[in-house]
Amino acid sequence: MKEIIATEKAPAAIGPYSQATAAHGLVFVSGQLPADPETGAFPDDVQGQTRQSLENVKSILEARGLSMANILKTTVYLQHMSDFAAMNEVYASFFEGDYPARAAFEVAALPKGALVEIEAVAAE
């Protein structure tokens, strides 16, 4: 049975989707924009936006009693592939030891003009 995961420590969904769902020992975290959950504001640069997006992922996982160490795979969507190195520097700081699998893509546009959006799949 699918379970819905929601927390006020991450931004509310801006459409007809859940922050995360869980089933069969897996947790699927929806793409997280870099919105501050209290103000909705985005940091100005890709490093700040990466940090905030990952903090949002982390908060959602914590609502399920998990941590970043439970992540199996992430997908990173970038407005500009030229921001890859700056994103990667911040991204690496959120993981200790073995990194999850990852894909990264440049996309034509992201919601609300974001520079980055990050989704994750984790195991319980």
Domains by residue range for the chain, with CATH: 3-123 (3.30.1330.40)
Question: What whole-number distance in Å separates Cα of residue 98 and Cα of residue 110?
Answer: 29
End-to-end CA distance of the chain: 15
Position 48 scores a pLDDT of 98
Q: What is the pLDDT tens value at each position of the chain, 124 positions in all?
A: 999 999 999 999 989 999 999 999 999 999 999 999 999 999 999 999 999 999 999 999 999 999 999 999 999 999 999 999 999 999 999 999 899 999 999 999 999 999 999 999 999 9
Per-residue pLDDT, 115: 98
Query: How would you class 114 by CB atoms within 10 Å of its CB: exposed for 0-12, middle for 13-18, buried for 19 or more?
Result: buried
Residue 97: the pLDDT is 84
Report the b/e string of 81-94 with b at 16+ CB within 10 A: eebeebbeebbeeb
- Write down the pLDDT at residue 50: 98
Residue 121: which H helix or E strand, with range?
Answer: strand 116-123
